[in-house]
Structure 1
């Protein structure tokens, strides 16, 4: 499960970083020595999207977690399905769903199969309605937030969206948040329950286990001003009730949740590593630079904000967004993160669907 893998990852990194002795490892802050494009993992997803018969051609989202089966599940949002042409173009009649999943081996060296309900050639969204095409939205739909195995079930945060009159591609708005409970073997949806949706906070952009708690990170705000919030639930009880972090402690009132950090992206990673908590994120808005913040506890305070990587894909109508961390596939002394790529014009994706596949970056860590 993600819990055990996260603890194993943190312990392995702690051991690998303690090169100067216990006192030095405790007193020195974690350093990011470098960030390098993981071209092998990025290529693996490109090859998977081009493979005939696999379904998934490209998507955004890119959350991952370990399943009881030992495999990893990758949770994606707007998903284009193949077959993809030899030049990476995609017919405009290709199937499209608002969310899907893909299975891989634990090291992500083998990407295995697409999980999407529906008969062959007619996939459906894993949760919620299935659109006719990207240009014909439903009255509402769900985009995945983070997911984790909790209480023996796969729990996935779902952000309900509705269309707006804004110009494409940003003609949508978040309306409420749900928690989907799925069977971790069959991926059958068992129930969909409400999550606190007050204060304009979208809870569940990141789920991180530490000690006896699952920490639930949320984002408040739209556009170019976003803030981080934190809630928590006892392990095995992600379906509630939650406690919400205030400036002075914890409360059962979601409306009292405090802003703990500004200038975060719509999605980010928070990873226990080397005795610290490393937050990786784009800034608010559609930036091309990824920043890192450090904290001594899962609720902060988060400090730093140094630029660690600049996405080369941004520009000329393309943009980058949605950082996610993947400790379950990371080597000791490293952390794998991902981000999404997209285009302001839907036609650009059909002309080259690789414009919508995830990119991966390896962070080198030290004391």
Structure 2
């Protein structure tokens, strides 16, 4: 089964629905300046992932530019690595053919920063003849039989030989539980050597020690989003830190740690935001926002502010944003920028989740934002709607 965000279903069904496209000027008395934006569909990007053969569905989508420069527009002359968690492989010929399969993660490489179907190639593990499998499989000392990876955000570490680091969540299914029938058992860091191509045979996996043995859904874990706040990543007035965001609890509170990128593997060098300062005490960590989603993003704006993007209330119909004065805020109130209701009309079981920005694929003056679609009756709806399980995109154009 594909992933489901952990949240009370009453939150999802209580939302008030409105039209999708918004144009608005937002003024927050607690923050300097205004945020004027227009949010519109990006059908060319949505169409890029509507496929009939091989890879035809996946969620989780994250993206990075292989050079490590995340400034909007730089992907035009570079390659972009994209990765997914639960992934569908098979064939659609008028309807979904029998024999399709689901693996737990996959990847794609896009040459250039445009939604060109001839420039994107999808990858999964084909080492076992006639048997597709995931690119990343947990192999840490704490891994238990039957566990698998969902993937979090990642970055190119320009301070460590341009190696790629991706956050992973060790997941275990709960027998006999159809909906939300899984739990997170661990939080890991995956290193891919610079220049390594899919299927990434030479990787290193490290257990992240924080929250080990705790209930990750209530206590938290890291990797929901990353902000590489460095000059090499294209950030003006950069602090030089990697900000690592996590999400915890039913209210989807956002927590954050930071570390110099060169010390990413030295977990004793990580520091945690306690609401006032950075501390070594993980138990003192405090949230900087709530009502977010299990995957989200924080992006620097050209005027020095920061834009947090998420699915409001985890699976509500709105893509929401908050504007902050620093990577840890304070962040202002939620602004609804887009209603995804139109993508849910084909079945009463459909729901959206995990909106986030993709600076690597964005053009100057806008942010490309993805969100996923899933179904509470996945096995039934995927046969009737075989293209449902894939990312959709909007463009947030701002001044």
Matches within 5 A, 1:1-367: 28-31=33-36, 33-46=37-50, 49-50=51-52, 52=53, 55-68=54-67, 70-82=78-90, 84-91=91-98, 93-110=99-116, 111-119=119-127, 121-128=130-137, 139-150=146-157, 151=160, 152-165=162-175, 167-184=177-194, 185-186=196-197, 187-198=200-211, 200-210=219-229, 211=238, 212-221=240-249, 224-241=250-267, 242-274=270-302, 275-311=304-340, 312-314=342-344, 316-345=348-377, 346-366=379-399
Mapped to 1, the partners of 2:372 and 2:101 lie a distance apart of 20
Mapped to 2, the partners of 1:316 and 1:296 lie a distance apart of 39
Question: Please, which runs of 5 or more residues in structure 1 have no aligned partner?
Answer: 1-25, 131-137
What TM-score do you get using the length of structure 1 for normalisation? 0.83
Aligned Cα RMSD in Å? 2.1
Tell me if the contact between 1:228 and 1:259 (Cα under 8 Å) persists in the aligned partners. Answer: yes
Mapped to 2, the partners of 1:197 and 1:220 lie a distance apart of 13
Mapped to 2, the partners of 1:107 and 1:213 lie a distance apart of 26
Measure how far apart 1:365 and its partner are.
0.2
Mapped to 2, the partners of 1:90 and 1:62 lie a distance apart of 25
Cα distance change of structure 1 residues 57 and 101 upon mapping to structure 2, 3 Å threshold? same
Question: Please, which runs of 5 or more residues in structure 2 have no aligned partner?
Answer: 1-30, 69-77, 140-144, 230-237
Q: Deviations over 1:35-94 (max 9, x none)?
A: 111011101111xx22x4xx3111001100011493111110000112x22225242x22
Mapped to 2, the partners of 1:27 and 1:283 lie a distance apart of 23
Equivalent pairs counted in the alignment come to: 324
Measure how far apart 1:116 and its partner are.
1.5
Tell me if the contact between 1:30 and 1:276 (Cα under 8 Å) persists in the aligned partners. Answer: no
What TM-score do you get using the length of structure 2 for normalisation? 0.76
Mapped to 1, the partners of 2:151 and 2:376 lie a distance apart of 21
| SS in structure 2 of the partner of residue 349 of structure 1 | helix
Q: Deviations over 1:298-334 (max 9, x none)?
A: 0111112011111122361011001121111111111
Mapped to 1, the partners of 2:97 and 2:138 lie a distance apart of 22
Runs of 4+ in 1 over 6 A off after TM superposition: none
Tell me if the contact between 2:256 and 2:272 (Cα under 8 Å) persists in the aligned partners. Answer: yes
- Aligned position for 1:22: none
- Aligned position for 1:6: none
| SS in structure 2 of the partner of residue 319 of structure 1 | strand
